[in-house]
């Protein structure tokens, strides 16, 4: 911002130099011509008076040869008769103008020592008489070429000086801009680190005013987030230990195992809900506070006179607002993944459709197609949550590893007499893999446990270059699925 006025000033100075160049050239020609004409007239008095024109011509010729500005010099007598005319032998143009001066015969002042032959005393004021008589005229014709050359050299030197001044000014403005922009850069980097999960960020607050308040707010926010993160990690670790202990107990018997796995899943969902609430109440509140502080800075900048520094502050504050908005949006996405509230609002089919739209919006994501048949809306409660989590895990694996272009997701309710089941299928055209050579990950193990908890089945079909087909069957109670209880 500070460089733009400097460039405008430099451009204005350049326009002024180019426009004033012809005028200055004419000024130089007039001054040079008048001085030359006066000098030649001063030296022509003796030649015209004595008639010694050869000496006068020799003086004029040497002057023409020495001065490259002169195209021609003419000396005329009192009657206008040309007495001496000398033209330059070099190739010059007579476009510089004609300058003239009169030649006078000047009589020396005579002291008559007073009147009536009276003695002359020193210090007395005596009347002196000086007589002048015009005896000729001098005409000097100049060439404009030398004036233009001189003016070009002058312009080049001024342009060089202007370029040096502009370079130094831009350099100084850049240094000042960097110095002013540095606190904002530090704040933005800190917010990006926080967005990346590094909550142990502490900034050195050297500046006062709004910038100092902003850095203090970031330090407070990062401290609160770091403490919240540690608390959440401790809670998750404690709950994880409890869940692992509960799962080990569930392995004693199939019936007890299924019951305990369902209890673990329910506890995990409760914990996710708790974490989602803490993120919503603490993290989002801190982000909103940072965004509010940045908006206050914008309002203060808008109320102050516009300067280069205020423009830098405004740009940086807007960047902070953008970063905090992105963090807020990311936190909202995490909350939605932790607690699928859309299940309560849209049902299983609507929740799956909303999830697929979220994955499809990511850069490089495949195209998703949802196919739903049967009365899927009747599936509610823990079974709906389990179905949602199973589809979520499958789709997440496709996005991470499959490199697929198209993905088909099926949600169907099958009615075959007394047997009713919920069929889930995720089919992609990705790279696939060899199941015998790939060790089962935590995601697939968790899926099998969820399916096992509901006495369902999971089938995986894949191969190198053949895509992947995951199909899950979850039995429904003979009566309405709404009455299915765990």
CB atoms within 10 A of CB 69: 21
Q: Compare 440 and 18 and report the one with higher pLDDT.
A: 440
185's CB contacts (< 8 A; 6+ apart) are 316
Around 203, how many Cα atoms within 13 Å sit in the side-chain half-sphere? 27
Between 273 and 387, name the one with better pLDDT. 387
pLDDT digits (tens, 9 = 90+) for 415-472: 766 678 899 999 999 999 888 887 777 778 888 888 888 888 999 999 898 899 999 9
d(CA 259, CA 167) in angstroms, rounded, equals: 78
pLDDT at 282: 59
**Confidence at 480, pLDDT banded by 50, 70, 90:** very low
Q: What is the pLDDT of residues 119-134, one digit of tens each?
A: 554 544 444 445 567 8
Pick from 406, 405, 401: which is nearest to 444 by CA?
Answer: 401
Question: In 196-283, which ranges are continuous DSSP H helix?
Answer: 209-250, 254-278
Q: How far apart are CA 420 and CA 474, in angstroms?
A: 9
Query: Does pLDDT of 114 surpass 70?
Result: no
pLDDT in the model for residue 189:
76
pTM for the structure as a whole: 0.38
Angle at 258 between CA 257 and CA 262, to 5 degrees: 115
- For residue 470, the model assigns a pLDDT of 94
Residue-averaged pLDDT of the chain = 76
Contact by Cβ (8 Å): 340, 351? yes
Model pLDDT, residue 338: 60
CA 76 to chain centre: 74
DSSP state of 94: S
List C-alpha distances in Å: 180 to 7, 96, 185, 214, 261. 21, 55, 10, 15, 58
Per-residue pLDDT at 394: 92
What is the mean pLDDT of the segment spanning 76-98? 78
Architecture of domain 346-483: 2-Layer Sandwich (3.30)
What residues are paired with 425 via a beta bridge?
A: 410, 471
Residue with tokens 């490089």: 364
What's the confidence (pLDDT) of residue 126? 47
Q: pLDDT value at position 118?
A: 53
Alpha-carbon torsion angle 117, 122, 128, 134, nearest 10? 120
Highest mean pLDDT among 252-261, 293-302, 355-364, 463-472: 463-472
* Average pLDDT for 195-206: 71
- CATH homologous superfamily of domain 3-107+131-156? PAS domain (3.30.450.20)
Residues 301-305 have a mean pLDDT of: 77
| CA–CA distance, 394 with 386 (Å, rounded to integer) | 12
């Amino acid at each position: 911002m500070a460089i733009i006025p400097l460039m405008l000033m430099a451009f204005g100075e350049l326009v002024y130099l180019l426009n004033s160049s012809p005028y200055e050239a004419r000024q130089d020609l007039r001054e040079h011509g008048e001085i030359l004409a006066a000098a030649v007239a001063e030296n022509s008095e003796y030649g015209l008076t004595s008639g010694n024109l050869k000496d006068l011509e020799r003086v004029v010729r040497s002057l023409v040869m020495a001065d490259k500005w002169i195209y021609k010099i003419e000396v005329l007598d009192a009657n206008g008769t040309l007495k001496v005319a000398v033209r330059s032998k070099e190739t010059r143009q007579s476009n510089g103008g004609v300058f003239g001066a009169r030649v006078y015969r000047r009589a020396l002042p005579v002291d008559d020592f007073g009147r009536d032959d009276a003695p002359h005393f020193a210090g007395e004021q005596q009347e002196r008489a000086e007589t002048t008589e015009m005896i000729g005229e001098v005409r000097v014709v100049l060439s404009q070429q030398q004036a233009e050359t001189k003016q070009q050299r002058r312009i080049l030197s001024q342009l060089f000086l202007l370029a040096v001044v502009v370079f130094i000014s831009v350099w100084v403005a850049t240094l000042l801009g960097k110095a002013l922009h540095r606190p904002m850069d530090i704040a933005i980097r800190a917010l990006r680190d926080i967005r990346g999960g590094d909550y142990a960020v502490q900034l050195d607050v050297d500046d006062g005013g709004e910038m100092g308040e902003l850095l203090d707010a970031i330090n407070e926010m990062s401290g609160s987030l770091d403490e919240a993160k540690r608390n959440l990690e401790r809670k998750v670790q404690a709950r994880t230990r409890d869940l692992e202990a509960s799962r080990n107990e569930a392995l004693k018997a199939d019936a007890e195992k299924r019951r305990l796995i369902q209890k673990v899943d329910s506890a995990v969902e409760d914990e996710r809900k708790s974490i989602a609430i803490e993120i919503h109440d603490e993290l989002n509140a801190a982000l909103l506070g940072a965004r509010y502080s940045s908006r206050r800075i914008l309002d203060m900048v808008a109320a102050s006179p516009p300067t280069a520094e205020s423009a830098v502050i405004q740009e940086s504050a807007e960047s902070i607002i953008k970063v905090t908005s992105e963090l807020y949006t990311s936190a909202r996405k995490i909350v939605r993944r932790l607690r699928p509230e859309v299940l309560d609002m849209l049902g299983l089919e609507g929740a799956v459709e909303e999830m697929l739209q979220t994955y499809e919006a990511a850069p490089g994501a495949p195209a998703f197609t949802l196919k739903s048949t049967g009365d899927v809306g009747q599936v509610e409660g823990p079974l709906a949550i389990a179905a949602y989590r199973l589809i979520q895990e499958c789709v997440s694996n496709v996005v991470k590893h499959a490199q697929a272009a198209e993905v088909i997701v099926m949600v169907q309710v099958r009615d075959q007499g007394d047997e009713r089941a919920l069929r889930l299928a995720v089919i992609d055209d990705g790279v696939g893999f060899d199941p015998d050579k790939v060790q089962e990950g935590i995601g697939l193990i968790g899926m099998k446990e969820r399916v096992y908890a509901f006495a369902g089945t999971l089938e995986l079909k894949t191969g190198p270059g053949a895509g992947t087909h995951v199909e899950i069957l979850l039995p429904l109670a003979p009566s309405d699925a709404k009455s299915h209880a765990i």
